[in-house]
């Protein structure tokens, strides 16, 4: 297996002599409880676990000693562990786990696990809890972790018997990977782990959960949707995150071409369809493009494929979606159908399976498709208008540089398969409309969670999840210091993430709001920062400082060639753009 940042395992885990490696017989029927946890994780293909060690989980983590097939990435704070796990799961499409100790150790995961919940990431939290004798007695580090995590997980359980540990792990994976993926908490009191053994061999996943889960849409609903789409004069395909989860990008594009549907990704999922496609308009949302909002507003039929029509895309009013537009909504979660907008046809199913059904149904109606020359011309014109607007930003000058000047330089040098994590904030948020994505699972963000500071650690996780792809994270100065201690983790684990810090010395979104709506009475928004490149060097990473736009490309290319973490600081001017215009009027601030 390819290792991150190095050709051998010694760069990822402490060097272990061959004499210390343990042998595990396939005939073994009894094992330590901690080992049983690991074998259940390995059965699901888990390669990395993330967390901070603690006394209640030593029975688990010490069983990784001498193993190369599953590793414990020890972060400097549990929040960083949860963010890294999210990035790993989203980039790889595979489940992973956090292993944390009782009380504050597990509580520190809350922000990152809330992101996994919003972002549909299958992260299993294995919380080593205090012994059962101390639960419900206000014992040291004793908290109701199950109750605390229930609102931000698909399932939260406490194990009550040692012999049920494997069963409960099966339950956890079954929930985490069913339908719309998400995190699960499994609370294990330490007396069920310490000095305990479990009999039995690990089960294959297909023995306890469905592993082939492409749910097709109702045939009658498919026929109604196909007829509506075929009759449309201005159809548009709104490509949601479900397309990425279902690996349906190819089918979505073929369907769009068959009917001359404009292609617009839902906010935060710009990588759902190739941005270079001739039917692609741009990303919607306040930090997206006015041209995409206009295309959505003009459409007479919208195929919302794998999307719940999220708030950042549509604002849940009629400034973007036209009241007269008819909507065909496809989502794996039945509760999302018609939740935010009335639908003409609602289809519950996997985005790829439903797209394939729609392709067959449309071809039955019109084998050659339904070309719509007039609408195609409108789409091309909207796309050209967006490109001209972005091209005009090349003429921007000033010292420090305007943040818009960063992005054409990045577009020029970032590889096609580069994974980009965008943190919250005004300066990194400019990337949504200015970077180009061609391959699914190359854009990662806060997924409606909105947590500032997730960018660096999520970026680290993406690189572990897909070591074959280059990885870049974009942060502002405010967000970067939230988790910058994890530079130490990146150095120790030799994770070659290129982190770009756009330093405008303020919390930009909040300063913009105070400027526009509160009489420029600035409170808590102006920041005094260290030199971020120097901070990186203190931790043992490579630091770079770039002040001119023309130097950005060479710096990024050099950083991507490094075999370890790099932090590039770029000082930028304050720039607080108004939200992208919407045809149906403006909303609240």
Cα 508 vs. chain centroid, distance in angstroms? 23
Structure tokens at 415: 């590889």
pLDDT at 584: 87
Nearest 5°: the CA angle 245, 249, 255 is: 130
Condensed to tens digits (0 to 9), the pLDDT of residues 435-469 reads: 999 999 999 999 989 889 999 999 999 999 999 99
Contact (Cβ atoms closer than 8 angstroms) between residue 129 and residue 187 = yes
pLDDT in tens, 522-581: 999 999 999 999 999 999 999 999 999 999 999 999 999 999 999 999 999 999 999 999
| Residues 221-276 pLDDT 10s | 999 999 999 999 999 999 999 999 999 999 999 999 999 999 999 999 999 999 99
Question: Is residue 27 very low, low, confident or very high in pLDDT (cuts 50, 70, 90)?
Answer: low
Read off the tokens for 150: 């229930």
Q: How large a percentage of the chain has pLDDT more than 90?
A: 90
Average pLDDT of span 513-530: 97
Q: Of the candidates 247, 236, 231, 211, which has an alpha carbon nearest to the alpha carbon of residue 356?
A: 247
pLDDT digits (tens, 9 = 90+) for 105-154: 999 999 999 999 999 999 999 999 999 998 888 888 889 999 999 999 99
Residue 197 has pLDDT above 70, yes or no: yes
What residues are paired with 127 via a beta bridge?
100, 187
* Rounded distance between C-alpha atoms, residue 483 and residue 452, angstroms: 10
Whole-number pLDDT of residue 135? 85
3-state secondary structure of 579: coil
CA distance 502 to 400: 11
What's the whole-model pTM score?
Answer: 0.94
Walk me through the domains of the chain, giving residue ranges and CATH numbers. Answer: 9-21+29-207 (3.40.50.970), 219-384 (3.40.50.1220), 396-571 (3.40.50.970)
Q: In this predicted model, what pLDDT tens digit does every residue of 327-343 receive, in sequence order? A: 999 999 999 999 999 99
């Amino acid at each position: 297996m390819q290792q991150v940042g190095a050709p051998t395992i010694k760069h990822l885990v402490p060097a272990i002599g061959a004499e210390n490696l343990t042998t595990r017989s396939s005939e073994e029927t009894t094992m330590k409880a901690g080992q049983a946890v690991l074998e259940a994780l390995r059965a699901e293909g888990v390669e990395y676990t993330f967390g901070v060690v603690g006394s209640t989980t030593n029975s688990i983590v010490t069983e990784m000693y001498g193993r190369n097939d599953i590793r414990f990435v020890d972060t400097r704070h549990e929040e960083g562990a949860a963010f890294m796990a999210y990035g790993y799961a989203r980039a790889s499409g595979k489940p992973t786990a956090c292993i944390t100790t009782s009380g504050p150790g597990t509580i520190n995961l809350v922000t990152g696990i809330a992101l996994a919940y919003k972002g549909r990431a299958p992260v299993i939290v294995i919380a080593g809890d205090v012994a059962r004798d101390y639960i419900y007695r206000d014992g040291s580090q004793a908290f109701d972790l199950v109750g605390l995590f229930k609102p931000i997980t698909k399932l939260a359980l406490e194990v009550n018997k040692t012999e049920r540990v494997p069963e409960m792990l099966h339950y956890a994976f079954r929930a985490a990977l069913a339908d719309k993926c998400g995190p699960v908490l499994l609370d294990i009191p330490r007396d069920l782990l310490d000095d305990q053994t479990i009999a039995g061999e690990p089960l294959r996943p297909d023995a306890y959960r469905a592993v082939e889960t492409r749910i097709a849409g109702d045939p009658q609903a498919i026929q109604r949707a196909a007829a509506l789409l075929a009759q449309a004069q201005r159809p548009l395909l709104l490509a949601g995150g479900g397309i990425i989860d279902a690996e349906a990008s190819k089918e979505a594009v073929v369907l769009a071409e068959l009917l001359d549907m404009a292609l617009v990704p839902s906010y935060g999922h710009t990588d759902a369809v190739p941005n270079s496609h001739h039917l692609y308009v741009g990303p919607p949302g306040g930090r997206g493009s006015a041209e995409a909002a206009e295309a959505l507003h003009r459409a007479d039929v919208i195929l919302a494929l794998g999307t719940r029509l999220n708030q950042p895309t549509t604002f849940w009013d009629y400034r973007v979606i036209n009241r007269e537009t008819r909507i065909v909504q496809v989502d794996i979660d039945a509760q999302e159908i018609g939740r935010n907008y009335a639908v003409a046809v609602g289809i519950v199913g996997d985005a790829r399976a439903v797209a394939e059904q729609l392709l067959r149904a449309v071809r039955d109606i019109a084998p050659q498709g339904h070309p719509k020359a007039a609408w195609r011309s409108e789409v091309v014109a909207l796309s050209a208008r967006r490109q001209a607007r972005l091209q005009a930003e090349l003429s921007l000058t000033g010292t420090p540089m305007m943040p818009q000047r960063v992005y054409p330089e990045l577009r020029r040098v970032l590889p096609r398969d580069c994974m980009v994590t965008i943190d919250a904030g005004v300066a990194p948020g400019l990337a949504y409309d200015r970077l180009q994505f061609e391959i699914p699972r190359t854009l990662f963000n806060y997924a409606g969670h909105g947590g500032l500071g997730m960018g660096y650690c999520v970026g680290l996780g993406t690189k572990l999840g897909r070591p074959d792809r280059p990885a870049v994270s974009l942060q502002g100065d405010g967000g970067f210091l939230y988790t910058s201690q994890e530079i130490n983790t990146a150095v120790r684990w030799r994770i070659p993430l290129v982190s770009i810090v756009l330093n405008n010395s303020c919390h930009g979104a909040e300063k913009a709001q105070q400027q526009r709506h509160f009489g420029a009475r600035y409170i808590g928004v102006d920041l005094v920062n260290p030199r971020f490149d120097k901070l990186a060097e203190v931790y043992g990473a490579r630091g770079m400082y770039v002040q001119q736009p023309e130097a950005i490309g060479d710096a990024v290319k050099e950083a991507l060639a490094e075999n370890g973490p790099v932090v590039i600081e770029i000082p930028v001017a304050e720039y607080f753009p108004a939200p992208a215009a919407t045809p149906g009027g403006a909303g609240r601030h």
